[in-house]
Amino acid sequence: MARLKCNHTICQTFFDLHFEPDIMVGPAALDFLTDFFCRHASSVEGALLILQLAHFKHFDEPLTVFVRDELLGTSSAELATEKLSDPKGFTFLTSLFLWSFGPQELSSNQVGWPVNDVADLLASIAEARANFRSRLRRLKLAFGVLLRVRKVMLDLGYRTAETDKTPLEMMSASLRGGLAREGKYLGTMTKSAVLYSLAMPDLHLTPCAQEVV
């Protein structure tokens, strides 16, 4: 029962279509949870403690300041640009350039920095965050569809829809792009109009509510 609650909690927190946490759990944290549950007695409290520690560890990284926006605690992009242009922030500004573009991209650029000024840098950070959120939403939608189709197939007696992966392993694999084989197989089943109608009606609700068991 504890493992079921843990699976449900993690899926509803990080894979729900209508909730976007500021910080997304990574596959390494999910793999650690899987290993922890295999070696020790599983409990919701233990899972939450591991997630809390992973969350706190994330804030060791100074770039976490850009998790929600690029305003650096100010009220506008102009003020953020002015704040980041302060000579006292030169070290942080340099790290931003290196993080955003990487040494290989910078060394191969014959005309200098890939952006012209601090304002462009902040804009690129905003774009990167928006792109990440967009890809994550598509990933969660695909994962939800996979779970729903798999559940319907199992309910209809298709034992071939079973998997040897635990729910946590499936979540981790989805973040790594490791469910291609399962997705391809289940995708062939959606060619059936009857199966599709059974699988899709309430997908907009909570795809993790019943499927992750």
Q: What pLDDT is stored for residue 201 in this prediction?
A: 56
Exposure string of 67-105, with b = 16+ CB inside 10 Å and e = fewer, is eeebbbeeeebeebbeebeeeeeeeebeebbeebbeeee
67 phi/psi in degrees, rounded to 5: -60, -45
Taking alpha carbons only, the member of 30, 9, 4, 64 closest to residue 206 is 9
Q: What pLDDT is stored for residue 133 in this prediction?
A: 92
Q: Over the stretch 26-66, which tens digit does the pLDDT of each residue have?
A: 999 888 888 887 777 667 788 888 888 888 888 888 888 89
Q: What pLDDT is stored for residue 90 in this prediction?
A: 86
First to last CA, the chain: 10
Helices (H), the chain: 2-14, 27-39, 44-58, 77-84, 90-108, 118-155, 167-176, 180-189, 193-199, 208-211
Q: What pLDDT is stored for residue 205 in this prediction?
A: 43
Exposure string of 29-45, with b = 16+ CB inside 10 Å and e = fewer, is bbbbbbebbeeeebeee
pLDDT tens by residue, the chain, 213 residues: 667 777 888 888 889 888 888 889 899 988 888 888 777 766 778 888 888 888 888 888 888 889 899 999 999 999 999 999 888 888 888 888 777 665 555 455 555 555 568 888 899 889 989 999 999 999 999 898 888 888 888 887 877 778 888 888 899 999 999 888 888 888 777 665 455 555 555 554 454 544 554
Write down how long the chain is. 213
Q: How is residue 18 written in tokens?
A: 């209508």
Whole-structure pTM value = 0.76
C-alpha 17/C-alpha 144 separation (Å) is 8
* Burial (0-12, 13-18, 19+ Cβ within 10 Å), 135: exposed
C-alpha 50/C-alpha 152 separation (Å) is 32
